[in-house]
Amino acid sequence: MSEGNVAYVLDDVSYEVSKFTDEGKIVFARLVEVQQDIQSLTRKIEILQAAAITLNVRVKDQLTEDMKTTVQDAAEAS
């Protein structure tokens, strides 16, 4: 990661990352990685939620009246 002109913003105050200590630069780099992972996982969750909706619709399309049961019947069958 290039440090030139990179800033860490906290409470509307910008801090120049290139002036961080070596440890601070490492921690900042890990923070950036974690935030990227969160964004990636959030996108994956959104895709999985959309897939679940689509799959539920497809299951619903397969249902017929003769498939109906009660919760108690389903519990006894398993």
| CA dist., res. 51 & res. 49, Å (int) | 5
In this prediction, residue 1 carries a pLDDT of 47
Cβ-Cβ contacts under 8 Å for 6 (sequence gap 6 or more) = 16, 17, 18
Q: How confident is the model at residue 73 (pLDDT cuts 50, 70, 90)?
A: confident
pLDDT tens, 16-70?
A: 999 999 999 999 999 999 999 999 999 999 999 999 999 999 999 999 999 998 8
Q: Are 8 and 14 in contact (CB under 8 A)?
A: yes
C-alpha span between 16 and 64 (Å, rounded): 64
Residue predicted with more confidence, 13 or 71: 13
